[in-house]
A and B are shown apart, each in its own frame.
Chain A
């Protein structure tokens, strides 16, 4: 039996491959990204990065109607983008199996907000499943496809950061080759806009059948506790990663483990709750399970009031809440443990750009990507920040309200994802804004994924390369400039000129991400500080470059192992004390 160490995301991809998935699309978003990256490694799967989750979802719907088993992937915030299509699809149902993977991020490790997307399944009336570990993550994909085809419904596959990024042993299986399902034109079924009133009761009828099925769904099951005889016995209702924590913290408990989270097997759950004096409902995020149980009349639940809604759960958190265990805390009371916040990499283009913007005294509407960190010291140069693409509209609106010098700063992948409509709108409505596009030739924050502006597909094939300046001109922007990110003065001049232009102006700043293989693998000749010439003005230190530090005697140094020779510190040094080491 082949056992392999796999992350939850790799296991989901494997499960999709084994389930015969042919088409897969998505947009990168932590913690969902690696599913599609792994899927792309299987020759039989047409896996692709789409420009955003909505487009990926629409493409997936087409592929599933056309008869291919299809998976689309996204993080919780991506579901917000795709939700228009997500809500409509249950009305028509699907032809071949369609599974949408949505990964939530409790604790917001890499997210703007802590959203519990399980509620979307309920609003859309779409069945939803959730795995508790890598092996189950793999198996459950096939189960989700069977469910999808049996009930001709899309299925939401819910995951979280800890499921996605936990590795464990997975037993590999064979691929099931699914014959393509015949597609026949059937407008009354799939043209939901016109036939919505006929379809509406069908959604309810299907949901009723799903409710009945949930009662007998074999992966919703009860695990007897070791000490069922103890008084009083402990009952727990849980799912996902919390199931693993419960097994560890409460080995004596009897567990109702839910794998299908919507619709719930309410009859079975109510019967389970009657057997115990009190029942813990252990779920991260909101009280999704607890509230439905309470609405069904169950009164002996202990859930959110004890465990809370904010952040990620852990064995420590559950044990402290249930048993009152005190755990050691860090030694910060006895010895200084300064925090280490994430920062721009050494040589990152964003550092140059924010340095330039700071000098120009602008007001910045920021966007989603590594450059969001421009909000942090020493730059403090992102003043408004919400979601993918919002910078362009926010800057336009601020200018409508009379806020001068509002500049939108948006990354290449994010601009393609959701920035383009805002740009067209600003031109159409005669705005007076500068839009700075940070083109680092990758989707950086999620781990360097290709996009439409890179000229390469997820499968590694060359393709048409999107050109930012051409697009800006095509939608009617009259002032378009392109500059090299590591020419500090040129960056500053280009942004300044754009801000002085009367109308919508676009500045495209090109500078590849330092984490791209071609940047990492190039020969680097590091810089050093000439201690004779340096008089300690600290201007270079103010770049907050991880490679530059000050020793206890106040002398500035460049860490040889960290420097990537971007030249920015040398450009800003007023006494030319920073030089590149001479090659031998």
Chain B
């Protein structure tokens, strides 16, 4: 319990990075950990790069994770995953949405090959198109929870606790689709692991 687990979540404003962070932080509280969570975002509500730090364990002081010390990175967009990959420790896990949302002022420049690049750096990368898969479940907005599900096998939090956390935090009308999204993400990650 004295070890601190460090998780970075990254994405584009409006993709649900903050909600996913909150779910993770709440689940860690359920386990009995001390938790700190903080987010960094720019001047506007939407469209910019957003990242969030979640730390849990015995006693956590700083909410901010140092580069190279994150155990898991969860990225709701591919480029944003690449942007924060240097926060991940050697051999750490990157769970990444392969969905591409090109920044509008980049003049078409986009690192399509990011997943292979990060694998080449020795990270364990689990990548799939969570936006499409979430849309198939009926709501593309639940891709954040699907990615959290995909990261869950690496976070040492039991399925019961995840279930209770989703119930605690999400409105009844959206609970079922989020539950399905979480389960689907978890299934994809476990398949990738085996």
List residues of chain A with CB under 8 Å of any chain B CB. 3, 5, 109-110, 133, 162, 165-169, 244-245, 247-248, 314-316, 319, 327-331, 334-345, 370, 372-373, 376-378, 444-445, 447, 515, 544-546, 549-550, 552, 559, 561-562
Contacts and interface: CB of A to CB of B under 8 A. Distances in A.
B110 interface: yes
> What's the dominant secondary structure at chain A's contact region?
loop
Nearest to B135: A561
B66 A338 contact: no
B66 A342 contact: no
Nearest to B90: A328
Contacts of A244: 61-63
B1 to A, nearest CB: 14
B43 A344 contact: no
A559 B104 CA distance: 13
Interface stretch (B81-89, B144-152, B153-161, B174-182): B81-89
Contacts of A337: 79, 82-83, 111
Nearest to A332: B83
Interface string B31-73: 0001111111111111111000000000011111011100000
B171 interface: no
Interface string B83-107: 1111100000000000001111110
Contacts of A329: 67, 86
Contacts, number: 164
Nearest to B53: A166
Given A341-B105, A561-B135, A3 B79 contact: no
17 contacts: A5-B26, A110-B43, A166-B37, A167-B35, A244-B63, A314-B62, A314-B64, A314-B66, A331-B121, A337-B83, A339-B106, A340-B48, A341-B47, A377-B105, A544-B105, A546-B101, A552-B108
Given A244-B63, A316-B64, A549-B102, A331 B44 contact: no
A166 B39 CA distance: 7
Contacts of B137: none
B42 A109 contact: yes
Contact of A167 (B22, B66, B102): B22
Given A5-B26, A248-B61, A166 B114 contact: no
B29 A335 contact: no
Interface residues of B, number: 56
A169 B35 contact: yes
A316 B66 contact: yes
A81 B180 CA distance: 49
Interface of B: 12-14, 22, 25-26, 29, 34-49, 60-64, 66-68, 79-80, 82-87, 101-106, 108-111, 113-114, 117, 121, 131, 135, 140
A109 B41 contact: yes
Nearest to A246: B61
B28 to A, nearest CB: 9
Nearest to A247: B61
B103 A345 contact: no
Which interface residue of A110, A319, A339, A344 has the most chain B CB atoms within 10 A? Answer: A339
A445 B103 contact: no
A445 B135 contact: no
Nearest to B139: A561
Nearest to A112: B43
Given A166-B37, A327-B66, A338 B79 contact: yes
A330 B85 contact: yes
Nearest to B38: A166
Interface centre among A167, A327, A328 (most CB of B within 10 A): A167
Nearest to B102: A549
A109 B49 CA distance: 12
Given A5-B35, A546-B46, 16 more contacts: A162-B63, A165-B39, A167-B37, A168-B60, A169-B35, A247-B62, A248-B62, A315-B62, A337-B79, A338-B79, A338-B111, A342-B44, A343-B47, A344-B44, A344-B47, A549-B102
Nearest to B99: A561
Contacts of B82: 331, 335, 337
Contacts of B26: 5
B86 A328 contact: yes
B47 A338 contact: no
B43 A447 contact: no
Contacts of B36: 133, 166-168
Nearest to A370: B44
A315 B105 contact: no
Contact of A3 (B22, B29, B135, B140): B29
